Amino acid sequence: MKKIILLAVAFLLAFTGAAQAASKDAKPVRIAYVEWDCARATSNLVKAAIEDRLHRKVELLPVSAGAMWMAVASGDVDATVTAWLPVTHGDYLKRLEGKVRDLGPLVDGARLGWAVPDYVTVNSIAELDAAADRFGGRIIGIDPGAGLMRMSEDAIKAYGLKKMQLVEGSGATMTAALADAIRRKEWIVVTAWSPHWMFGRWQLKYLDDPKGALGGMESIHTVVRKGLDKDMPEVFAFLDRFAYADTAQLQTLMAWNNEEGADPLTNARRFMKEHPALVDSWLAK
């Protein structure tokens, strides 16, 4: 009897080792994301969970919004966990209908807009032209391919802004300009979105948008390529269940990543350690 038990244990260990080796040798999961702080945080969290719990290698690919959607549609990547819907990326989803699969929101309560420090006395987009000199005639933007930038161009037209120019950049250059202006107590208006760590660091306010040019409340969705459920069923099942409990969790993770010397993957594993029940819910059978 003892010999039978030992043989069974040896077989189980060999089988488990072979299964893990097969998983490690399997085709890596490729995830594309736009280089926004929220996208980087979530993509690294997905990477950590898949690698640590499903034992599959994950490749993260930072790209523009358009390239991200096309890569999922073509099957060049397996998924993205940074699709802002229904407005910001709505045109991409409509254009690629039938070529991608929307798994629904991973967090609700997201929004886009233009933000200013709370000491700025302007409260509405409609008031910007009259105070253009105080803002240096600039709206500090992010990467040119972002949906927020397209919508910002629409907002300039909707409000007839003649003295304000949208300046292209990146998420990093936008927050750097914001930090510098706040340190000097200067007026600045930036393209903004939440959840974002900058709302936890500084006292900011969204400008009123009575025309609704920059949209309303949004959700961040997981979108995958067609066929993922067939050839990577365990990855598909995980992505289908993956979600934050609330926006505060994502905002906390983003804040950790903004600390000096922070590593997003290390912080993702810290998040998993602090929220074991949530992680287990992503992997439940």
- With respect to residue 24, please indicate whether it lies within any of the assigned structural domains: no
- The pLDDT value recorded for residue 25 is 54
Verify that 136 and 194 share a domain, yes or no: yes
> Domain check: are 202 and 232 in the same one?
no
Provide the terminal-to-terminal Cα distance of the chain, rounded to the nearest Å: 33
Residue 12 lies in a domain: no
pLDDT category, 168, cuts 50, 70, 90?
Answer: very high
Residue where a domain terminates, one of 158, 179, 206: 206
Mean pLDDT of the chain: 90
How large a percentage of the chain has pLDDT more than 90? 76
pLDDT of residue 46: 98
Assess contact for 27 and 75: CB atoms under 8 A: no
Looking at the DSSP bridge assignments, the partners of residue 219 are: 85
Torsion over CA of 224, 39, 67 and 100, rounded to 10 degrees?
A: 20
Same domain, yes or no: 92 and 116? no
3-state SS assignment for residue 17: helix
Asked if the model's pLDDT at residue 79 lies above 90, the reply is: yes
For residue 21, being part of any structural domain is answered with no
Q: Are residues 105 and 222 in the same domain?
A: yes
Assigned domain for 65 exists: yes
The whole-angstrom separation of Cα 135 and Cα 145 is: 24
Q: Omega of the bond prior to 105 within 30 degrees of 0, cis?
A: no
Looking at residue 285, its pLDDT comes to 65
By residue range, what is the domain housing residue 76? 29-110+218-282
**pLDDT number for residue 232:** 97
Residues 103 and 139 in one domain: no
Q: Are residues 145 and 269 in the same domain?
A: no
Same domain as 223, residue 254: yes
CA 188 – CA 186 distance, rounded (Å): 6
Higher pLDDT, 232 or 284: 232
Residue 12 confidence (pLDDT): 44
Residues 105 and 239 in one domain: yes
222 and 83 belong to one structural domain: yes
| pLDDT tens sequence across 150-159 | 999 999 999 9
Question: Both 162 and 143 in a single domain?
Answer: yes
Residue 24 has pLDDT above 90, yes or no: no
Whole-number pLDDT of residue 4:
42
Query: What's 56's DSSP letter?
Result: -
- Say if 18 falls within a structural domain: no
Per the domain annotation, does 9 fall within a domain? no
* Amino acid 216: pLDDT: 79
In a domain? residue 229: yes
Among 154, 175, 206, which residue terminates a domain?
A: 206
Tokens coding 249: 């969790």
Per-residue model confidence (pLDDT) at position 1: 47
Q: What is the pTM of this model?
A: 0.76
**Could you tell me if 105 and 124 lie in one domain?**
no
Q: Which of 186, 206, 226 is the C-terminal boundary of a domain?
A: 206
Q: Which of 146, 247, 145, 251 is nearest to 198 (CA)?
A: 251
Q: What is the pLDDT of residues 190-211, one digit of tens each?
A: 999 888 888 878 999 999 999 9
Q: What is the CATH number of the domain that holds 121?
A: 3.40.190.100
CATH for 53: 3.40.190.10
Asked if 177 and 202 sit in the same domain, the reply is yes
Strand intervals (E) in the chain: 29-34, 58-63, 79-85, 100-117, 138-140, 165-167, 190-194, 204-206, 217-225
More confident residue, 234 or 199: 234
Our count of domains for the chain comes to 2
pLDDT score for 86: 92
Return the number of other C-beta atoms located less than 10 Å from residue 207's C-beta: 20
In this prediction, residue 284 has a pLDDT band, given cuts at 50, 70 and 90, of confident
Q: Is residue 132 part of a domain?
A: yes
pLDDT in tens, 125-142: 999 999 999 999 999 999
